[in-house]
Structure 1
Amino acid sequence: MSVVMDPLVETVILLHGTGRSPRSLAALEKRLTGAGYSTCNLAYPWRDRDIAGLAHFVADALKAKGLTGPTNKLHFVTHSMGGLVAAYLLGTQRDRLAAAIGRVVMLGPPLGGSEVADALCKLPMYRWMYGPAGQDLVTTSGLLDNIRPDYPLGIIAGTVGWPYLSGLIFIREANDGRVSVARTRWDGMADHLIMPVTHSFMPTSPHVQAQVLHFLQTGTFRRP
């Protein structure tokens, strides 16, 4: 007699960026649920811990919600620093999840840090505003030096820097106002897409949302 295995319960985990909350991903979450996905739009204490500590918090939160067992499959959609948290979590604490990992989409992730953080990280105001994780955003942090994605990863980078004056001043190449296109790239990623969007408004762009859905469904972004 053959044994019929129950299908995995699939959930898209949404992780917001620094200075943000799950509300910043509400429109994107609505688009995902409208396409039939279950979601978990997770709040985390971005100001209180470094990236390693935030990854640990997220793992604990997902376990508390019953999403980390062997009958679960987790996809991730992240914005800004949320991508760094997910990258570190999946690269160093995968065993704590004990769930299958599906596809991952990151919007404007500072995987290679940001020149804006380089310029401002020693200022008391910056340290107060961004907390310990702010020091992990510099281009020399080396946080992901020994980590590579072993899951299908799609990254979207923006090229509209205005109205971020800090980006215009400190980043000399194509950027979204916070992160350069080059520093969103990561060896081992499955796909990388450049779009004319600014950093903060990526999650609310209908065109970005459509690309997120396309990657979750197919493992690639849509090209003309």
Structure 2
Amino acid sequence: MKKLERYLRHKGYVTYNRSYPSTVANVERSAVHYINSALANISRDEISKIHFVTHSLGGLLVRYYLTHHKIKQVGRIVMLAPPNNGSEVAERYRDHFWYRWMTGAPGQQLHKNDNPLLNKLRPLEAEVGVIAGTRSSDPWFNHVFKGEHDGKVSVNDTKLSEMKDLITVDHGHTFIMNKRKVKRHIVNFLAHGDFYRSQQRKHLYDLEN
């Protein structure tokens, strides 16, 4: 997320970019520990809004945290390729040794059916925008998907009922945050609450939704 962090700073945002061991602790532990750590490292008296920009599993961390904690200054949330409804990859391979070894505890929390983690997440009260990829960055998983996907998550599984906007981009899962178009969409949503579209395309989107 370093390139995205620099881009957001250039646009005038104060940023805090924190990596975490995404294959070690489960979603619940990581959400509380690392988001609390992030909040402790910003001067909340000097800012009006706290926005979140997440990639992949990070979206679930924010959803879990905001299910159990209130942030008075919470602003808008942009999720890049989030497995909001699980992933076909996890559903198919979570019992396989190689998958458990590569993804650790969080990988066991990403299946689609009868998922206790997803079932207990409440709708977000903040404005949420989702950016989903439609080009596979993991072609060896293409066979598990029926619809559009980014190699790890299908477009349908990125969706939230409460999301304010959704846009798809022709990019894969892993490096979606580095694409110029994606960065522009993020800034537009943080500023205005929707993703950038030409007036004609925006009108068509409003009619369809």
> Scaled by the length of structure 2, what TM-score is found?
0.87
**How many residue pairs end up in the alignment?**
196
Map 1:55-94; keep pairs closer than 5 Å: 55-67=31-43, 73-94=49-70
Q: 1-side partners of 2:36 and 2:24: how far apart?
A: 16
Shift of residue 179, structure 1, vs aligned partner: 0.3
**Identity across matched positions, percent:** 34
**Conserved in 2, the CA contact under 8 Å of 1:70 and 1:99?**
no
Q: Tell me whether 1:151 sits opposite 2:119 in the alignment.
A: no
Bigger share in strand: 1
User: Structure 1 stretch 142-151 or stretch 171-180: which is displaced more?
Assistant: 142-151
Partner of 1:187: 161
Q: For each residue in 1:42-98, what CA deviation from the matched residue of structure 2 results, as whole angstroms up to 9, or x when unmatched?
A: 12221221111111112331243145679663100011111111111112223xxx4
> Scaled by the length of structure 1, what TM-score is found?
0.81
Bigger share in helix: 2
Q: For each residue in 1:144-192, what CA deviation from the matched residue of structure 2 results, as whole angstroms up to 9, or x when unmatched?
A: 33410100100011111254311x1111111011100000000111111
Structure 1 residue matching 2:186: 3-state secondary structure: helix
Partner of 2:88: 115
**Conserved in 2, the CA contact under 8 Å of 1:44 and 1:57?**
no
| Distance verdict in 2 for CA 1:216–1:42, change over 3 Å | same
Q: For each residue in 1:13-68, what CA deviation from the matched residue of structure 2 results, as whole angstroms up to 9, or x when unmatched?
A: xxxxxxxxxxxx11111110000000000122212211111111123312431456
Unaligned runs of 5+ residues in structure 2 are 199-209
Shift of residue 99, structure 1, vs aligned partner: 4.0
| Distance verdict in 2 for CA 1:67–1:170, change over 3 Å | farther
**Conserved in 2, the CA contact under 8 Å of 1:71 and 1:99?**
no
Shift of residue 125, structure 1, vs aligned partner: 2.1
| Distance verdict in 2 for CA 1:162–1:72, change over 3 Å | closer
Partner of 2:180: 206
Q: For each residue in 1:78-121, what CA deviation from the matched residue of structure 2 results, as whole angstroms up to 9, or x when unmatched?
A: 11111111111112223xxx441001000000000001011111
Unaligned runs of 5+ residues in structure 1 are 1-24
Q: Provide the aligned C-alpha RMSD in A.
A: 1.8
Q: 2-side partners of 1:118 and 1:63: how far apart?
A: 33
